[in-house]
Amino acid sequence: MQENEGITLTVNGEFRYCSAGLTLAAYLEESGMPRTRLVAEVNGQIIKSADFDQYILRSGDIVEFVRFVGGG
Amino acid sequence: MPDEFILGGVSLSSRLFIGTGKYGDDALIPAVASSSGAQVITLALRRVDFNNPAASLISHIPDHLRLLPNTSGARRAEEAVRLARLARAAGVGDWIKIEVISDTRHLLPDGYETARATEILAKEGFVVLPYMNPDLYVARDLVNAGAAAVMPLGAPIGSNRGLATREMIGILLEEISLPVIVDAGLGLPSQACEAMEMGAEACLVNTGIASAADPVEMGAAFGAAVRAGRQAFLAGPGRVLRHGAADPSSPQEGSLTGFLEQGGAETCGQP
């Protein structure tokens, strides 16, 4: 695969394209999303915010980003 | 001696837990936390909204509060387990309020799935606080599954209908050795006070406070009611007479009326 080739992902249930070689941290940054108190799940595996820089997204990944909202 | 509530190895001086849902403005939450005196606050986990990146509930929660994430949205035990693990990975500690609900009309919890999730998560070291129907057998299952407390509903979630399950909660208070934290449906401070008078260890109130015209004042009122109810419970309420019976509060002997009827007035004045 070429370095600049795009990849396809499913992020929070939606189909997304992004450039290859992007980490979870970079994906969030490109989306303008602060990573504080966020947690991710990639293909069912939990990834903590502190490890977002280590995980490089791959084509076909199913990604969930979750955070806290109001609840009882 | 201070009246502490030890839960999950943590000493709490406030027995009112509050929620973070349904506030018209999340910026009210610090003031409600302060007015209510709460030390434990619930929150939920949801997908990030990429269209609204700035929204952050956590930034409104004062640092001293213990976070109690819930597993709302889970319909089966496995989904609750997944949410609990995600919440812990998000760095909010190991307390988890289990909510497993597949009934979308009444929002009543599924006892079997709740007990299954409780067992898995307790083994993983979570302090598990399961939301439950006040059913004795479910409560026993939750005790055996390793719950840290049971959280029976007073009335359906968000209904503000009060202690509709009073009798059933009374049975749990008699039979279950774990702390009983009344959760859901408490719409007025008097209802929380009654739960505490009965012997509940704590109450969790979200809608009752958040839906009030002035949530900060209502938070203060609930805080006072929970303290009053606890104080009354510790004081030991007096006996309740059967219907139709009465017992005078004033002495029967020495009544002035009786004294007069017995002709006392004649000897009382000057001859």
Per residue in B52-87, pLDDT (tens digit) is 877 788 889 999 999 999 999 999 999 999 999 999
**What mean pLDDT do residues B108-135 have?**
97
| CA-based end-to-end distance of chain A | 47
Q: Which tens digits make up the pLDDT trace of A6-65?
A: 899 999 999 999 899 999 999 999 998 888 889 999 999 999 999 999 999 999 999 999
**What mean pLDDT do residues B250-270 have?**
66
Which of B22, B82, B90 is closest, CB to CB, to A68?
Answer: B90
DSSP label of A49: G
B90 token code pair: 């998000």
**H or E segment at B166?**
helix B166-175
pLDDT of B232 over the 90 cut = yes
What is the least distance, in Å, from the CA of B251 to any CA of chain A?
Answer: 51
On whether any CB of chain B is under 8 Å from the CB of A66, the answer is yes
Residue B113 backbone class (left: φ over 0; alpha: ψ -120 to 50; beta: rest):
alpha
On whether any CB of chain B is under 8 Å from the CB of A55, the answer is no
Confidence of residue B263 (pLDDT cuts 50, 70, 90): low
What pLDDT does residue B261 have?
Answer: 59
The values of phi and psi at residue B30, to 5°, are: -60, -40
B169 near B198, Cβ under 8 Å?
Answer: yes
pLDDT of B166 over the 60 cut = yes
B172 near B150, Cβ under 8 Å?
Answer: yes
pLDDT of B269 over the 80 cut = no
**What mean pLDDT do residues B139-151 have?**
98
Query: Cα(B225)–Cα(A29) distance, rounded to whole angstroms?
Result: 46
Report the percent of chain B where pLDDT is more than 70: 94
Other C-beta atoms lying within 10 Å of the C-beta of residue B165: 22
Query: Cα(B163)–Cα(B159) distance, rounded to whole angstroms?
Result: 11
Residues of B in contact with A68 (CB under 8 A): 43-46, 57-58, 67, 69, 87, 90, 92
What pLDDT does residue A2 have?
Answer: 47
pLDDT of B267 over the 60 cut = no
pLDDT of B153 over the 90 cut = yes
E-strand stretches of chain A: 6-11, 14-19, 39-42, 45-48, 62-70
Confidence of residue B259 (pLDDT cuts 50, 70, 90): low
Q: Which tens digits make up the pLDDT trace of B1-45?
A: 689 999 999 999 999 999 999 998 999 999 999 999 999 999 999
Quick check: B47 and A13 CB within 8 A? yes
Distant-in-sequence, close-in-space partners of B149: CB < 8 Å, separation ≥ 6:
B7, B129, B178, B179, B180, B181, B201
User: Is B97 assigned a catalytic role?
Assistant: yes
Beta-carbon pairs below 8 A across chains A and B = 103
Which of A12, A41, A72 is closest, CB to CB, to B19?
Answer: A72
Identify residues of B whose CB sits under 8 angstroms from chain A CBs. 19-23, 26, 42-48, 50, 53-54, 56-58, 67, 69-70, 72, 82, 85-87, 89-92, 157-158, 184, 204, 206-207
Instruction: Give the torsion through C-alpha atoms of B265, B266, B268, B271, to 10 deg.
Output: 150
On whether any CB of chain B is under 8 Å from the CB of A1, the answer is no
Other C-beta atoms lying within 10 Å of the C-beta of residue B242: 5
Confidence of residue B255 (pLDDT cuts 50, 70, 90): confident
On whether any CB of chain B is under 8 Å from the CB of A19, the answer is no
What pLDDT does residue A1 have?
Answer: 45
* CA-derived radius of gyration, chain B: 24
**What mean pLDDT do residues B133-152 have?**
98
Q: Which tens digits make up the pLDDT trace of B3-14?
A: 999 999 999 999
What is the least distance, in Å, from the CA of B87 to any CA of chain A?
Answer: 8
What pLDDT does residue B163 have?
Answer: 96
pLDDT of B258 over the 70 cut = no
Residues of B in contact with A12 (CB under 8 A): 47-48, 50
Quick check: B44 and A68 CB within 8 A? yes
If we measure between CA atoms, which residue out of B46, B102, B103 comes closest to residue B76? B102
Quick check: A33 and B50 CB within 8 A? yes
pTM: 0.89
B180 token code pair: 């009983």
Give the CA angle between residues B35, B36, B37 to the nearest 5°: 95
Q: Which of B15, B88, B97, B116 is catalytic?
A: B97
